[in-house]
Structure 1
């Protein structure tokens, strides 16, 4: 969680999923590829599930969802 929140452009990060094994990151100007690489380096496993723009999401910014499992 600290990794995602500390990234440039991130406004919020919340845990999602049945097992709380997914993190939804919301913000503006987030580099999704860079965030995914950083999570993979620190955690070992991360998958970018979806990416939305502000127009498609109805506000906010880019919303990459990271699936992190340790």
Structure 2
């Protein structure tokens, strides 16, 4: 899977913003932005593995707030 496709799927599935994903993978927010737009061609194996692990985990369930 291409890096751009993987980053976009993780962002969408877990409803993360770029800053939160950057913290999870240990990269900067600008790196995540560039990766999601296809401007990053290569990345470390560990970063790719972290992205795949995040994609394969179930998203957190959102419980509605009731008063």
- Fold shared, TM-score > 0.5 on shorter chain: no
Largest Rg, 1 or 2: 2
Q: Which has the higher contact order (CA 8 A, sep 6+)?
A: 2
Point out the structure with the larger helix share. Answer: 2
Higher relative strand content: 1
Normalised to the residue count of structure 1, the TM-score between the two structures is 0.30
